[in-house]
Structure 1
Amino acid sequence: MTEAIPALRLEGIVKTFPGVRALDNVSFSVMPGEVHALMGENGAGKSTLMKVLGGIHRPDEGRIIVNEKPVVMTSPLEAKAKGIVFIHQELSLAEELSVAENIYLGELPRKSFGRVDWKTLYERTNAILKKLRVGFDAKARVGDLSIANQQMVEIARALTVDAKAVIFDEPTASLTDAEKVVLFDVIADLKAQGVGIIYISHRMEEIFRITDRISVLRDGQYRGTLKTAETNEDEITQLMIGRKLDLSRNAIHHELGDVALKVEGLSCGTFFQDISFEVRRGEVVGFYGLVGAGRTEIAETLFGLREPTAGKIYLEGQETRIHSPADAIARGISLVPEDRKGQGLVLGMNCRDNMTLPQVDDLKAGPFVAEGSEIAIFDQYRDRLDIRTPGWKQLVGNLSGGNQQKIVIGKWLSMHPSVLIVDEPTRGIDVGSKSEIHNLIRDLAAHGYAVIVISSEMPEVLHVSDWIVAMFSGRIMRTFTSDEVTEDNLIQAISGITPDKAA
């Protein structure tokens, strides 16, 4: 019997940047009709390997082989022409253009004299959108779509070419549960057509649901490939990080202080209504709920990004009004946003400037910023948070997701807040860095911070929280201490089921 030929193979790939060996003799292959997971901590080399495959980086050593033919990738367009399609985690869409124009950008069907064949363009696009079961059509402006629907436009691009291999990079990060089901159906269809799928995700439940094999990178080196059906999360985690993780539920090991933040009857239009809770110094309060439950909107209201329509906010026992982020910062409230790249960082700036951005005016010596003071702040929080970077001059956009998140946290800790709100603290972060962020959150509470954590991941909110606020449709359904909460009663609460109905 003839052995199957890989759809795509990388052999002995080496890539070095100044001071960093990002890839060290890495080999990887995906078979036709296979879903092959590529896993590793942030900074393990996954993104660099994919950029080599996509023609963004030229390898220092090694070969790329498509259908047993060595190829040289010089650009993403050339990669696509050879049947290698990328679905990026970071959206790369033109918001002012239509869905159809984005999907066929650079390949618009033409009529005589170079005119765009709009009828054909819309027909082709709507046929693809029908497969994805989305609620918008070819003529919709991309900028008017939700982030989740924009992600579906990215996915639609993969269906326009005769793909040999499709790379999905964290494709479900912005999708609802219903949209995930559609995505997995699309992947199953591509698999049935003999397309090789490379699936990059930190979500173990997805990896074990849809993949056939799992390959692991660590510190730029290949660590092994396992059949999904013959391994488990513990084995993959140890391959990724070289150690076991402590995933036990949180327990309080320190004294709680005074109430730092108290909210009474807070409402904001249709986003949330009649919200009341308090957070003490030394305490982590977790907010858990489905998409649209109002959790992020509460954080944005406390940070002055939204005006409340009713209710009161008390800080250190004093009623206060917050009309802007500047008000919130001045009163000791800081927000680590859900979208760290879009709202928390300036990716083209270096680490030092990102960390000191909110306090530039306070660091001025005359008309200039005191560079020595900025570097001192960066050095302090780099050491405290174990931020892994060659130095302060490194662009934040070049850091791993976990280290980017630490830069955002360090930025706000350097302002010495009394209340720290962290929205989706580990979204898009690998399992090892997740553990570090969780330990950091607990450590901040132990040092007297009042911390609010908003998370869509049940294990996370159970692990870090002293008590949990369960929300449904803009309202608090129940609150739980870490001792009384169970997965069952938490799921019932965020689904709108009250205790009497559950009984």
Structure 2
Amino acid sequence: MLTGAIPPSSGTIEFENQVYDRLTPSLAMKLGIAVIYQEFSLVPYLTVAENIFYGREISKMGVRSVRQMNLEAEKFCREMGVDIDVKAKVCGLGVAYQQIVEILKAVSKNAKFIIMDEPTAPLTLKETEIFFRIIRKLKEKKVTIIFISHRLTEVFDLCERVTVFCDGRFVTTKETGEVTKKQLISYMVGRELADDYPAGNGKTGNVVLEARHITGKRVHDVSFELREGEVLGIGGLVGAGRTELARAVYGADPVLSGEFLLDGKRFVPKSPRTALEHGIGLIPEDRKKQGLILDATVKENSALSILRRCSDFGVINKKEEERTVYRYIKDLNIKTPGMNQLVKNLSGGNQQKVVLAKMLATNCKILIFDEPTRGIDVGAKQEIYHLIREMTDQGKAVIMISSEMPELIGMSDRILVMADGRLKGEIGRGDFTQEHILEMASDLD
């Protein structure tokens, strides 16, 4: 609404002492209001400079001047203290620098009010530090920023004031120096939270999955065991090969050598379908691209994995399909107006639950969570944690990959640490420390 993308149904917007019933995208741009969405609006095969001036190309005598755009882009980079090749194509940049290009686009339009929606969700710790430097530069230039984030540490580090919304309603605004993290969480979820990470029952059973010397895409000679009723955490830095290992178990990436044993028997994960048929499910890192069909409904997404089971002679049994989907909407507390709601209109946490419903519907006994709480709010995180613990208490086995150190330590029964595609070691629950994990992940022997 602040950028004119959606008209308000009531109320007014006041900006620089002017009152507006609604804004349009062109008016918002004219006023100096810009937004950086979670999904980038960059053109991958254009250069940094071409993206910055996209739609506002600098020309001389009617001919686009690439040289002038490069010079202007370099000027913006110097002003922001950014070291970036403006002639490089955006598709060759890391996520952090793509995010910076989005900021440079906004600054080049003389933006004085920038809304950033979960800007650090896909960034590593090092990339986040680079990004924060840019934000502080913007603050020095008197640019006003709305910083939308579920990472409360970042909110306290960057922001002077914090406003909380819950279920679409305004809850409160506080000075960050006058509120604690615990108080903020209670405002966000509408209740006091118990311990951040629910404890399991401590009972683990037989080995359900064994990997022996697995080598594949960015994975080299990895061996491990997974037991019934446990959460096996996998830690490491970005590019360590954790996601590739998960995809190899799930049959999404080929295994070049080594073998898997499932309940003691040799198992070859030829494809995701093979993995699902053997009770292995994956909740992928990027739910929007790999886990969901965004323009399909909650029902259609949740039932994707069980269409055969819900079909008679090739015809879908609608009653059986709806009965199954309704059960998971209820069991997982998916907040949706109905099962025919489009998934793209749900919050991140509820989208994640739909992916989980799709996997649980297949009666998986092994679930792999790759960054399970990325980009979802504190309350939804708690629900995901409790769902994971409910699964392990029922005897299911969970592999959890996470870049959030408190989450990895709080939820795991054991932690494997990877670096450069190799397993660097295993840490038992009594020995979990952030320093120990990072030391192993950084390959510091």
Q: Do both share a fold (TM > 0.5)?
A: yes
Q: Deviations over 1:308-338 (max 9, x none)?
A: 2322111111112223222222222111001
Question: Does residue 205 of structure 2 align to residue 242 of structure 1?
Answer: no
Alpha-carbon contact 2:197-2:407 (below 8 Å) kept: no
Question: Does residue 120 of structure 2 align to residue 172 of structure 1?
Answer: yes
Question: Does residue 46 of structure 2 align to residue 97 of structure 1?
Answer: yes
What's the counterpart of residue 473 of structure 1?
Answer: 420
Question: Does residue 209 of structure 2 align to residue 261 of structure 1?
Answer: yes
SS, match of residue 132 in structure 2: helix
Q: Deviations over 1:457-494 (max 9, x none)?
A: 11111221111112223222221222232233223222
CA distance in 2, matches of 1:177, 1:461: 15
SS, match of residue 89 in structure 1: coil
Q: Specify whether residues 474 and 133 from structure 1 end up closer, same or farther in structure 2 by C-alpha distance, changes over 3 A only.
A: farther
- Structure 1 window deviating more from structure 2 (101-110 vs 290-299): it is 101-110
What's the counterpart of residue 120 of structure 1?
Answer: 68
Structure 1 residue 85, shift from structure 2 partner:
0.9
SS, match of residue 444 in structure 2: coil
Structure 1 residue 305, shift from structure 2 partner:
2.0
CA distance in 2, matches of 1:352, 1:451: 25
What's the counterpart of residue 339 of structure 2?
Answer: 392
Q: Specify whether residues 286 and 116 from structure 1 end up closer, same or farther in structure 2 by C-alpha distance, changes over 3 A only.
A: same
The residue identity in structure 2 corresponding to 1:259 is V
- Structure 1 window deviating more from structure 2 (379-388 vs 488-497): it is 488-497
Alpha-carbon contact 1:151-1:174 (below 8 Å) kept: no
What's the counterpart of residue 438 of structure 1?
Answer: 385
- Structure 1 window deviating more from structure 2 (470-479 vs 415-424): it is 470-479
- Correspondent of 1:151 among 99, 105, 109: 99
CA distance in 2, matches of 1:184, 1:146: 16
How many correspondences in the alignment?
Answer: 445
- Correspondent of 1:457 among 367, 391, 404: 404
CA distance in 1, matches of 2:291, 2:197: 29
Question: Does residue 415 of structure 2 align to residue 494 of structure 1?
Answer: no
CA distance in 2, matches of 1:493, 1:349: 42
- Structure 1 window deviating more from structure 2 (127-136 vs 241-250): it is 127-136
Q: 4+ runs of 1 displaced by more than 4 Å?
A: 129-136
Q: Specify whether residues 130 and 422 from structure 1 end up closer, same or farther in structure 2 by C-alpha distance, changes over 3 A only.
A: farther
Q: Provide structure 1 residue ranges, at least 5 long, that are not aligned to the other structure.
A: 1-51, 499-503
Q: Deviations over 1:111-144 (max 9, x none)?
A: 223x322211222223334566777533433334
SS, match of residue 266 in structure 2: strand
CA distance in 2, matches of 1:145, 1:376: 46
Q: Specify whether residues 247 and 492 from structure 1 end up closer, same or farther in structure 2 by C-alpha distance, changes over 3 A only.
A: farther
Q: Specify whether residues 128 and 300 from structure 1 end up closer, same or farther in structure 2 by C-alpha distance, changes over 3 A only.
A: farther
Q: Specify whether residues 356 and 248 from structure 1 end up closer, same or farther in structure 2 by C-alpha distance, changes over 3 A only.
A: closer
SS, match of residue 61 in structure 1: coil
Structure 1 residue 196, shift from structure 2 partner:
0.8
TM-score, length basis structure 2 = 0.94
CA distance in 1, matches of 2:247, 2:94: 18
The residue identity in structure 1 corresponding to 2:143 is V
Alpha-carbon contact 1:255-1:282 (below 8 Å) kept: yes
Structure 1 residue 106, shift from structure 2 partner:
1.6
Structure 1 residue 93, shift from structure 2 partner:
2.5
User: 1:43-62 maps to which residues of 2 (within 5 A)?
Assistant: 52-62=1-11
Structure 1 residue 63, shift from structure 2 partner:
1.4
- Structure 1 window deviating more from structure 2 (461-470 vs 416-425): it is 461-470
Alpha-carbon contact 1:100-1:122 (below 8 Å) kept: yes
Q: Specify whether residues 462 and 250 from structure 1 end up closer, same or farther in structure 2 by C-alpha distance, changes over 3 A only.
A: farther
CA distance in 2, matches of 1:135, 1:370: 58
- Correspondent of 2:137 among 189, 194, 197: 189
User: 1:214-225 maps to which residues of 2 (within 5 A)?
Assistant: 214-225=162-173
Q: Deviations over 1:415-452 (max 9, x none)?
A: 11121101000000111111110010011111121110
The residue identity in structure 2 corresponding to 1:218 is C
Structure 1 residue 363, shift from structure 2 partner:
2.7
The residue identity in structure 2 corresponding to 1:203 is R
CA distance in 1, matches of 2:361, 2:397: 15
Alpha-carbon contact 1:251-1:466 (below 8 Å) kept: no
SS, match of residue 352 in structure 2: helix
Structure 1 residue 266, shift from structure 2 partner:
1.3
- Structure 1 window deviating more from structure 2 (95-104 vs 380-389): it is 95-104
CA distance in 2, matches of 1:259, 1:97: 50
Structure 1 residue 209, shift from structure 2 partner:
0.9
What's the counterpart of residue 225 of structure 2?
Answer: 278
SS, match of residue 340 in structure 2: coil
TM-score, length basis structure 1 = 0.84
Identity of aligned residues (%): 39
Alpha-carbon contact 1:132-1:182 (below 8 Å) kept: no
The residue identity in structure 2 corresponding to 1:494 is A
Question: Does residue 25 of structure 2 align to residue 81 of structure 1?
Answer: no
- Structure 1 window deviating more from structure 2 (199-208 vs 85-94): it is 85-94
